[in-house]
Amino acid sequence: MKKKTTIYDIAKELNITAATVSRALNNNPRISEETKKLVLAMAAKLNYKQNKLALALKSGKSNNVGVVVPFINRNFFSSVIRGIEEELNPKGYNVIISQTHEDEKKEIDIVQNLLNSQVESILISVSRNTRTNEHFKQVLRKNIPLIFFDRKLELGGVSSVTLDDFQGAYQATEHLIEQGCKHIAHMTIDLALLIYQNRLAGYKQALEDHGMEFNPDYVVGLKSEIVAGKDAAKKLMDLPKPPDAIFSANDLGALGAIQYLKEIGKKIPEDCCIVGFSNEPFTQFMEPPISSVDQSPLPMGKTAAKVFLEQINSKGVKIEKSVVLDPTLEIRKSSLKNGK
């Protein structure tokens, strides 16, 4: 195996010290421009590659940013990651992506590994099953910027970029009311997470503001999978007074509900209107196309990256920002009972 080129090889070729080579490669002002050019040219000729981890340990700056999501293969999270990369890559930052699979222990291990890798910041959407914040406090104790996006915990000293989930749910429910729906159900997910608490609260507030009574029987839990949406829809349709509309806290639940309603011969939206949340790409290609609240994942990622850049450029001044993005309801055929 070919021996890896070191700074000592460059120094030997140029008849200078290894210390001089190291300073030149790191753009030290004590080294003349002429020497820097000679060192860089010889480094390229010998195919020298710097050990980035060693450099990070020495300088305390790695230019790496950790991004942690529950799942990479969800369109929402992949779009957030794209937004982060589009902001940070041109500025010389590398993004290290990790996924927790909704596992608190895995999340804790990932955060520790990122700290060991000398990352400049951690941007994270918290696992659904996370109940502790000690690993996040450890990040703060090291003075490393920590930014929550989409899902967050209430923790001082942490910036966040989220969607106005309350308003998104309010808009979805109000739209169903405007379509003439009288018995609107809500399929929720894990109410330990603030985003789902806010979606439930928005649903309830819209009912109250329009003089409609809240019925707890119309609120059913589900997981993210499509089959859970089918099971939840079955529970609702088995009620003595089945709903004529369903607002799901995510699009997979809405898809599952549509599949079940079709199986039992219900027409959508004539017999039951459906609205989801997230505006996943598949929603517009379904039959019928599914109405959904758009979460603005690309702007969310870009904004989270900008918050990080603002923090590192603040010259030691601590910044704690809470950015809330406005939701948009994409209205499609699944909820258009009156045609508009």
Grade residue 22 by pLDDT with cuts at 50, 70 and 90: confident
Q: Using one digit for the tens of pLDDT, what is the confidence trace for 74-108?
A: 889 999 999 999 999 998 899 999 999 999 999 99
Name 137's Cβ contacts closer than 8 Å, sequence gap at least 6.
155
From edge to edge, which strands make up the β-sheet containing 121-124? Answer: 94-99, 64-69, 121-124, 146-149, 159-163, 322-325
**pTM of the model as a whole:** 0.80
pLDDT at residue 92 in the model: 85
- Rounded to whole angstroms, what are the CA distances from 79 to 85, 196, 259, 260, 337? 10, 21, 27, 29, 31
Residue type, 320: E
| Residue 9 predicted with pLDDT over 70 | yes
Domains and CATH numbers, the chain: 7-50 (1.10.260.40), 62-163+297-327 (3.40.50.2300), 165-295+329-335 (3.40.50.2300)
pLDDT at residue 10 in the model: 87
| Residue 189 predicted with pLDDT over 60 | yes
β-sheet bridge partners, residue 185: 246
Q: Using one digit for the tens of pLDDT, what is the confidence trace for 256-299?
A: 999 999 999 999 999 999 999 999 999 999 999 999 999 999 99
pLDDT at residue 57 in the model: 47
Q: What is the mean pLDDT of the chain?
A: 90
CA 242 from centroid of its chain's CA atoms = 35
d(CA 254, CA 161): 25
pLDDT at residue 2 in the model: 59
- Rounded to whole angstroms, what are the CA distances from 169 to 90, 105, 182, 252? 36, 31, 17, 16
In this prediction, residues 12-31 reach a mean pLDDT of: 84
Q: Is residue 261 a contact partner of residue 268, using CB atoms and an 8 Å limit?
A: yes
Q: Using one digit for the tens of pLDDT, what is the confidence trace for 34-67?
A: 888 888 888 888 888 766 555 554 555 668 999 9
| Strands annotated E in the chain | 64-69, 94-99, 121-124, 146-149, 159-163, 184-188, 219-221, 245-248, 273-278, 291-294, 322-325, 328-330
β-sheet bridge partners, residue 276: 292
Q: Using one digit for the tens of pLDDT, what is the confidence trace for 125-162?
A: 999 888 899 999 999 999 899 999 999 988 888 999 99
**HSE of 72 in the Cβ direction (CA atoms, 13 Å)?**
7
